[in-house]
Each structure stands twice: as C-alpha cells, then as structure tokens.
Amino acid sequence: MDTPSLRRAAATAAICVGGLLWLSAILLMARTAQHAEPFSRLHPWILMINVAGLVVLLALLATKLVQLVRDWRGHVIGSRLKARMVWTFGVLATLPILLVYFFAVQFLSRGIDSWFNVEIRQSLDDALVLSRSALETRMRDHLAATELIADELAMNGGTAPGILEMLRRQSGALELVVATDSGAIVAVSRGLETDVVPDEVPGEVLMQAKQGSPFVSLEPLAEGGYLIRTAVPLGGVAGDRSDMVVQAIYPVAERLGALADTVQAAYQQFGEKDYLRKPLKASFILTLTVVLLLSLLAAWYGAIFTAQRLVQPIQDLVKGTRAVAQGDLDTRLPLTSHDEMGFLVHSFNDMTKRLRHAREDQQRAQQAAETERANLAVILARLSTGVVALEPDLRIRTANRAASSILGEELDGFIGSRFAGLGAPEGLLRQFGEACRSRLAAGETEWREQFVFQAGSGRRVLMCACTPLPAEGEAPGGYVLVFDDITVMLQAQREAAWGEVARRLAHEIKNPLTPIRLSAERMRLKLMPSMNERDARLLDRGTETIVQQVEAMKEMVNAFSEYARAPRVEMAEVNLNRLVTELTDLYRAQVAGRGVTLEVRLDPGLVAVVADRGRLRQLLHNLLTNAVEALEGRPGGAIAVVTRLAERGGGRVAEIAVEDNGPGFQRELVGQVFDPYVTTKARGTGLGLAIVRRIVEEHGGSVEAENRPDGGARVRIELPLDGATRGETVLRREPHWPETRRERA
Amino acid sequence: MSNSQSRAGHFSGRSSGFPLAWLLCFFATLLCGPVRAADTTLEVIGASIKLDEGVYVLDADLEIDLPGGARRAIDAGLTLRLNYEIEMERVRRYLPDPDVAALVQGYELSYHALSQRYILRSLNTGEQQDVGSLAAALDRLSSVRGLPIIDAALLEPGPAYAVRVRAVLTLRSAPDTLSWLLFWTDDWSATSEWYTWTHRR
C-alpha cells in the first residue's frame, strides 16, 4: 500500500476513533444527566472530554476554513465550487439542527419547570402543614400531660422514684426526668424499651425552662420515627420560678411516624430538586448545547470533507487539463470512485492516453519528415542545379548552395526578402529576380525558359523552370525555381560544333588546296612559255593569286586544325612565375619597338602548378599576342601580366591576369570572346582566345574576360593548385566534357 | 506539648450564570476546577490532645461561617458534610516521617422540615442529634471534645510527634444521583488549613 493510501486509512481510523470517543462521551454525559449515580463523579471529566472534542473539532474546522479562505483568495482551482458546496451543505445541516435545538431547549425548559409547578409545591407544603398539625396536636397533648406531671410533682413536693414511675406510666411517656436548671439529673423514670443511661437534658430545654417557658419539640429518630420531647419548669405553668425542670419524652405512633417520614422525605426531595432546578436546566441545556455544537461542527466539518471529496476529482481534472494543455500527456489522474466522476476521470485518462499515442505517432511522422527534409536539404545542397523556393508573395523561403553559386550572391542572407530587387543593380541575381517576377506577375505559375543575361563577367545563360507549390486553397503555396547555368554547356556545345567544323575544314578544304596550288603552278609552268607577254602576265598574276590564297586558306585550315586537334597533355609541375618571366622576356623587345610597355607583377608566394608547360606557354603567347594586337597604333600602350596566389571555394588557385589599356572588348561580345571566330580585329582567325579557354579547361581552370573600369581589357585565368580544387573544378565542368572529348576523339 | 497555630483558608464561591453564558465561561470553569466559595469561612482555631484513661483524645474548635446561599441550600434539603481529618506522624530528622495515626471524623448536618429541626449525625457512630437552629447546629459542629485518637501505648516516649487537624466542608445532595448537579451550583465547599502542633509523650 502506498503512502497516500496509508495516510488516508490512518485519517479515516482517527476520525472513526475520535467519533466513537465523542459519541461515548456524549452518551456518558446523557447518562449522568439521567441520574446515573456511577457517572456522577465523572461528570466534570466527561464534560471536559466533550469540550476537548469540541475544541479539537473547532480547531480542525478553523484550519479547514482558513485553508478554504486562503484558497478562495488565491484563486485556487475549485475553491469557489468547494466554498459554495460547503456553504450549501453547512446551511442545510445547520438550519434543522438549530430548529431542533430551539424547540428542544424550549421543551426542556418548560418540562423541567412543569415538574416544579406551584400546585406540587403547594401540595407538599400542605401535606407538611397537615403532618405538622397532626403531630402538634399530640405535642400539645403531651406538653399538657407533662405540665400535669410537673404540677403533681410540685404538689407532692417530692421526686420519689415510685411517684415518678407512676406518673410516667400514667402519661405514657418513655422517659421522665427531673433535673436541675444546670442539667443535673435529679430523678429519672424510664421504660424498659429505652436505654439504661438517660441522655443529658439538652441545653435549649434547660435554657427555655430557665425562662419559665415550656418546651416541646418533635425529634426525628435516626432509625425512623419520631419522639416528642416536652419540658416544663417544676412548678407548672403557673409561672412559679423553680430551679428544677421536668422533661418527658413521648413516643409517636409508628403509623403516624411512618407517614410523617414519607411526607418529610417527599418534601425534602422536592425541595432539593427545586433548589437544583436551575442547575438541572443549565446542565441539560448545556449538554444539549454541547451535543448541538458537536453535531454542528461535525456537520460543517463533514460538509468541508464531503465538498473536498467531491471537488478533488474536479481539481485533479482541471490540473490534468492544464498539464495536458502544457503538453504533459503523461498525466494520469487517480481513480477514486466508480461513479460518474470516476467515469469522467477514466475518460480523461483514456483521452490523455490516446493523445499521447497520437503525439508519439505525430512525433514519429515529424521525425520522418525531418529526416526526409534533411535528406532533401542535403540533396539540394549537393545539387549543381540552383533551387529557390519562394513564398506566395515572392519572398525567398529557402535556397540551396548551388543557387547562390550560380547567381553569385549568398542567398542565405536574403531568406525572407523579396526575390526581385536583390543583389547589385547590374548583377545576375537582380536580373534573374526581375525576370522571374515579371513572369509570375503575369500570372504564369508554371513555365520553363532560358534566360540570357549580361552580367559583369559576361554573358550568362540560365535555364529556369518554375513550378507552383501545392497549397490548401486555390492560390499556390509558393513557387519553386529550378535553374541551371548552361552557359558553359552551351559553350561546350559550340566548341564541339566548331571542332567538327575545324575537322571538316581540315579534311574537306585542306586536302584540295594542294592540288589547286599544284594545278595553278603547273598551269603557269606549262602555259606561260607559250603565251604572249600580256597573257603570260595575266596568268602569272592569276596563278600567283591562287597560290597566295591557297596558302592563306592553308594557314587558316591549319589554325582550325590546331584548334580542333586533341593535344597530348603532359602534366608536370610548372613554375608559373618563371614561365611568365621567360615568355614576357621574349615579348619585351618586340613591344618596346611599338612603344608599348610590358609590366610583370609576380606573386613570390605562388607555388608550382601541375600543368602542361607547352600548353601554358601557348596560352600566354595567345594572350600576349592579343594584347599586343589590341594596342597596335595606340600610343602609350601598356600591358601587365600579373600572377597571384588566391583562395577559391576553400582551395588555392594560381591566378594569371593579362591586362592592357587598349579599346577593350565590345560590350555585346564580352560573353562570346572565347568563342571561335569571334574577334574585333581586322585580321585574325578569332581562335586565339578560344584556344586559351580550351587550354584552361584542359587544366581544370577557369577563364573570364572583362573590360577594365579604367579602360582596356583584362583576361583572368585561374588554375587550381590543390587536388581538391582541381578535382572540383573538373567535376563541375564534367557534364559538358564527355561530349566534347568524344568530338575531339 | 507545644502548639503552633496555622491560618485558616478563605475561599470564594462561583456566582451562578445565565444558561447560555455557561458556554462562554465553560473553559474557565473546567480549567480552573471547582472555584471555592468566597465567603465560606472554615478555620481550625484551636486543637489539642490530652491523655484520658490511656487514650489520647482530641479537643478541637472550629470557626464556621456559611454564606446565605449555603444556609438556603441546607434549608432546601441539601446536606452539609463536615469531616475532621486528624493525622499524627512521628517526626524524624533524615528519614520520611511515618504515619502513626490517621483518622477522619465525619458529621452531617441536614434540615428536617417537618420537625423544623436541624439534624446532626455522626458518620462514624451513627449518633443523631437535633437542634432548633442552624446556628446551634453549626456551633455544635464546630466543637469536638474527647475524640479518641490513639492509644497512648502506641506512642514511644521521647520522640516528637506531629499532630495536625483540618476540616473539610462539602455540601452534597442527599440522594447521590443529583450530586453531579452540584457541579453547576455555587461551590460552598471549603477546606481549612492544617492546624499543626508537635506532641511529645
């Protein structure tokens, strides 16, 4: 059995024992009130026990009431209901108890008064007077007889025993005594039924005899019955003063004495009870009052106890409900009864159990959803495709890392911001946001489109698909933008196409060039000697032109062939700074003759890169040639070659930048300068930068061309130094390469 | 023989109250116990023992003054009981004093309405006397003469004996069944101080 159960059992036992004790005390008090002699001496203690019980009950009740008031003021749950129930129960119990008490007191008071009504008192008084009258008649007779005896003794002048005995017998006295006024017995005559030794003559007899008055009294006997004591001065009633006194004691008839005793006893008992009437009423009323108070306090205590028992499950329910509201679904209420309240408690427990199971299911589902979401987030994060989720009001809900990478802005900082209008004014993010907003603003919620933007680094082509997110209503719950930067892919496709063109040129055009040239030279050789001078000059110019153009075409085809050729790359550690120095030294004299300065700024911390030295040399050669050609005819030309060790995406890269202060790239061609046959120069094949980009991509690097803010062009190349960076770069480009490599093969 | 007189006690009686007021003074009543009558006087004003034919007998005088309420209670039928408590013990210096003799002499005084006489009865001997007035009855009760205490042979010559006398007065109901009600009446009971003296044989 648990501790609360033990405590409840102990409390119940204490209440039962206390109740039995008080009930016993009340019964004992009632017994004492019913003249139960054995309990008379215990009356104060019994009363004290009752009062102690009263005090204990009062203290318990006061404690409960104080607690109730405190709960009321503290707005404790259920305190108001409990107070109302206590009040109702208490009043319902108090009213009948008070009513019964009032009438009981009235009946008791009037009943006791009726016991001592005037008629009974008067009857007893009359009986007493009547008894006295009857006895006084005899007393007067006996006094008269005593006076005759005294006269006789006075006349005879002697107190001889014979005369005294005769007079006693004649008068019927039990005892006849002649004594002096000081009490000394002179003569005595006694009947046989009396004691041998006579009693002293009482002082009051002597005193009255001294005054010359006769004395007569009725003397009750201890064993019942009466004697009549008479005394007169010796000398009789004539008033003669004498120092002698005659005392005669007469018996009272047994029957008369018994009746007188009965009257006396009744009178005495009545008088005694009449005297104790007020205490009797007070004790009865007090007993009743104590019982009333005990009952009343017990009723109030019972009301509180009952209310508490009734309210407790409600309080438990409210507490349980609050606990459930705060998320504590492990709340279990004690089932204390099997009535409707017990059913309610059982239902509550069942409800919390179901809720707990539902919450556990929900938690499991939520956990699964979280896991799925985490997996999705990982997938999204690892995707090379940009994904941006938008709210219905086009605020960014989430974006993956690839989106930030493609758009060139860290989108995590823009979560919650409107997608349109973000980023730099000419930036890719701003252009992309506006483009998406315009499509969505036009009411197009599901579309797929290829956007071409001019960003600072050049032309960017984004393939974007928009899909509305499901929502509860008709309005979409948001949008998902899935986009990819297909600039490189398109570039690769173009390169592949150009490679094909180059191979066809090499195959279809270069092969006929030699027969054409040989045919032209043969024609010249065979026909010129037989022609006239005019025709010979014409033939010579014609064949010379054919040969020159064929050579030009041959050079062009060779250039294409070089572009399309799949070189054999031999990777080795290359000191980039040294390579730049060697190459720029070759150009330094050349450009100096054209009035162009060549500046080299090398990063001494730049470590060796793993690359094909010959290809890198060609790369630098193409860039320097481009720069020199761009500065032709421009005074004050300046070329700068800069190397730098830089950090990119957590890895190190070797950066090579070739700058000039020439006219720069045409703005509309900035994004296409690496395409074959894109050139702004009057001469040239337009393959220089295309070959540069190919070499860079062969090394897993990146290249970009831009116009410098202060004029001129800048081509910047990044070559990965670390394996990871290198691998990542290659991997990022990988989707575009297989096709290209196949084409080259 | 040397006598050392002690003072008698004066006791106060309770005044009767309103029935409902009982409740209020209830605790005080129970806590304080029986409250002595204020104007009952009971004092041993003199006592001595003397040798009478080989027996030590006691002569004692008492001052009894009953208040009017007590007199009315007696006239109404209640019985006054007066006990003389006499104790004699041997005085020892270091050891507890052993009791030599202890005696209670009881008397009852009641009013006989039919004869209009006051009855005095010795509870020890059953002897009964009657007098015509309460004053005479109290006067008779207040004097004890020649009450045998102890045989002289039981006292050793030389040692000192402490003799003490006191009186206990109570008012009680003739039938004991109503005596519990006296708890709720004025209390005229009284107990005198011990009257103590030393006796040497």
- DSSP string over A487-508: HHHHHHHHHHHHHHHHHHIIII
Q: Indicate the residue type of A542.
A: G
| Neighbouring residues of A243: CB distance < 8 A, sequence distance ≥ 6 | A180, A181
Q: Write out the two tokens for A339.
A: 């009535």
Nearest C-alpha neighbor of A662 from the set A617, A615, A626: A626
- Which stretch of A88-92, A504-508, A724-728 has the lowest confidence by average pLDDT? A724-728
Percent of chain A with pLDDT over 70: 88
Residue-level pLDDT at A243: 76
- CA-CA distance, A69 to A60, in Å (whole number)? 14
Q: Which DSSP symbol is given to A705? A: E
pLDDT interval class at A171 (50, 70, 90): confident
- Which stretch of A189-198, A313-322, A497-506, B49-58 has the lowest confidence by average pLDDT? A189-198
Residues of B in Cβ contact (< 8 Å) with A48: 30
Q: Is A339 within a domain?
A: no
Q: Which DSSP symbol is given to A641? A: E
| Residue A740 reports pLDDT greater than 60 | no
Q: Indicate the residue type of B133.
A: S
User: β-strands A638-648, A597-601: how paired?
Assistant: parallel
User: β-strands A458-468, A479-485: how paired?
Assistant: antiparallel
The answer to whether A131 contacts B114, with C-beta atoms less than 8 Å apart, is yes
User: Would you say the C-alpha torsion A442, A443, A449, A452 has a positive or negative sign?
Assistant: positive
Residue of B nearest to A276 (CA): B181
State the number of CA atoms in the 13 A half-sphere of B178 facing the CB: 22
The neighbouring-strand residues paired with A217 are A229
When pLDDT is averaged across residues B61-71 and rounded to a whole number, the result is 89
Residues of A in Cβ contact (< 8 Å) with B19: 281-282, 285-286
Measure in Å the smallest separation between the Cα of A23 and chain B Cα atoms. 20
The answer to whether A44 contacts B30, with C-beta atoms less than 8 Å apart, is yes
- A465 with A608, same domain: the answer is no
Prediction pTM value: 0.51
User: Would you say the C-alpha torsion A48, A50, A51, A57 has a positive or negative sign?
Assistant: positive
3-state secondary structure A178-212: EEECCCCEEEEEECCCCCCCCCCCCHHHHHHHHCC
At residue B2, the 3 state secondary structure works out as strand
Higher-pLDDT residue of A135 and A5 is: A135
Q: Are B58 and B87 in contact (CB under 8 A)?
A: no
Residues of B in Cβ contact (< 8 Å) with A273: 178
| Residue B102 reports pLDDT greater than 70 | yes
- A226 with A259, same domain: the answer is yes
Out of B26, B177, B185, name the one closest to residue A279 (CB): B185
pLDDT tens for each residue of A641-680: 999 998 876 678 899 999 999 888 887 777 778 877 777 6
Per-domain residue ranges of chain B: 2-200
Q: Is A687 within a domain?
A: yes
When pLDDT is averaged across residues B106-127 and rounded to a whole number, the result is 90
- CA-CA distance, A388 to A479, in Å (whole number)? 8
| Neighbouring residues of A93: CB distance < 8 A, sequence distance ≥ 6 | A296, A299, A300, A302, A303
pLDDT tens for each residue of A255-271: 888 888 888 888 888 88
- CA-CA distance, A49 to A60, in Å (whole number)? 16
Residues of A in Cβ contact (< 8 Å) with B173: 272, 276
Q: Indicate the residue type of A297.
A: L
Q: Are A499 and A743 in contact (CB under 8 A)?
A: yes
Place of tokens 């800069």: A642
What's the structural domain count of chain A? 5
- CA-CA distance, A503 to A510, in Å (whole number)? 10
Q: What angle do CA A672, A675, A677 make, to 5 degrees?
A: 110
| Residue A743 reports pLDDT greater than 70 | no
User: Average model confidence (pLDDT) for chain A?
Assistant: 81
When pLDDT is averaged across residues B5-27 and rounded to a whole number, the result is 40
- A710 with A725, same domain: the answer is yes
When pLDDT is averaged across residues A175-188 and rounded to a whole number, the result is 85
Residue of A nearest to B111 (CA): A268
Measure in Å the smallest separation between the Cα of A214 and chain B Cα atoms. 15
Which of A461, A485, A509 marks a domain boundary? A485
- CA-CA distance, B73 to B77, in Å (whole number)? 6
Instruction: Supply the DSSP string of B88-155, one letter for each residue.
Output: EEE--SSSPPPEEEEEEEEEEEEEETTTTEEEEEETTT--EEEESSHHHHHHHHTEEEEEEEEEGGGS
CATH of the domain at A241: 3.30.450.20
| Residue B184 reports pLDDT greater than 70 | no
- A176 with A224, same domain: the answer is yes
| Residue A564 reports pLDDT greater than 80 | no
| Residue B27 reports pLDDT greater than 60 | no
Interface test with B, best of A40, A126, A221 (most B CBs within 10 A): A40
ipTM for the complex?
A: 0.71
Structural domain that includes position A424: 383-485
pLDDT tens for each residue of A119-156: 788 888 888 888 888 888 888 999 999 888 888 887 77
| Residue A39 reports pLDDT greater than 70 | no
The answer to whether A275 contacts B113, with C-beta atoms less than 8 Å apart, is no
- Which stretch of A107-111, B6-10, B96-100 has the lowest confidence by average pLDDT? B6-10
pLDDT interval class at A241 (50, 70, 90): very low
pLDDT tens for each residue of A93-117: 888 888 888 888 888 888 877 777 7
Residue-level pLDDT at B137: 92
Question: Rg for chain B (alpha carbons), in Å?
Answer: 19
| Residue B135 reports pLDDT greater than 80 | yes
- A576 with A534, same domain: the answer is no
| Residue B31 reports pLDDT greater than 50 | no
Residue-level pLDDT at B171: 81
| Residue A725 reports pLDDT greater than 50 | no
The answer to whether B175 contacts A280, with C-beta atoms less than 8 Å apart, is no
Name residues 583-612 of chain A within 8 A of B (Cβ): none
- A175 with A233, same domain: the answer is yes
| Neighbouring residues of A603: CB distance < 8 A, sequence distance ≥ 6 | A577, A643, A644, A645
| Residue A379 reports pLDDT greater than 50 | yes
Q: Is A517 within a domain?
A: yes
Q: Is A223 within a domain?
A: yes
- A64 with A163, same domain: the answer is no
Q: Are A470 and A478 in contact (CB under 8 A)?
A: no
Other beta carbons less than 10 A from residue A471's beta carbon? 11
User: Would you say the C-alpha torsion A293, A295, A299, A302 has a positive or negative sign?
Assistant: positive
Q: Is A682 within a domain?
A: yes
Residue-level pLDDT at A600: 92
Residue-level pLDDT at B46: 92
Interchain contact A222–B (C-beta under 8 A): yes
When pLDDT is averaged across residues A383-398 and rounded to a whole number, the result is 88
CATH of the domain at A673: 3.30.565.10
Q: Write out the two tokens for A65.
A: 């009431």
Higher-pLDDT residue of A80 and A726 is: A80
- A653 with A536, same domain: the answer is no
Q: Is A158 within a domain?
A: yes
- CA-CA distance, A584 to A590, in Å (whole number)? 10
Q: Are A411 and A419 in contact (CB under 8 A)?
A: no
Nearest C-alpha neighbor of A132 from the set A217, A70, A68: A217
- CA-CA distance, A156 to A297, in Å (whole number)? 87
- A36 with A100, same domain: the answer is yes
Which of A285, A309, A324 marks a domain boundary? A324
Interchain contact A686–B (C-beta under 8 A): no
- A530 with A660, same domain: the answer is no
| Residue A700 reports pLDDT greater than 60 | yes
- A478 with A530, same domain: the answer is no
pLDDT interval class at A14 (50, 70, 90): confident
Q: Is A341 within a domain?
A: no
Higher-pLDDT residue of B24 and B159 is: B159
pLDDT tens for each residue of A524-557: 888 888 888 888 888 888 888 888 888 888 887 7
Measure in Å the smallest separation between the Cα of A216 and chain B Cα atoms. 11
pLDDT tens for each residue of A437-480: 888 888 888 899 888 887 655 678 889 999 988 877 667 788 99
Interface test with B, best of A276, A285, A287, A292 (most B CBs within 10 A): A276
CB pairs under 8 A between A and B: 122
| Residue A5 reports pLDDT greater than 90 | no
Residue-level pLDDT at A30: 67
- CA-CA distance, A428 to A404, in Å (whole number)? 11
- A681 with A729, same domain: the answer is yes
Q: Is A336 within a domain?
A: no
First to last CA, chain B: 8
At residue A155, the 3 state secondary structure works out as helix
pLDDT interval class at A293 (50, 70, 90): confident
Q: Are B29 and A283 in contact (CB under 8 A)?
A: no
Higher-pLDDT residue of A614 and A425 is: A614
Which of A454, A485, A516 marks a domain boundary? A485
Q: Which segments of A356-444 are extended strands (E)?
A: 386-390, 396-399
- Torsion of Cα atoms, B118 then B123 then B126 then B129, to 10°: -20
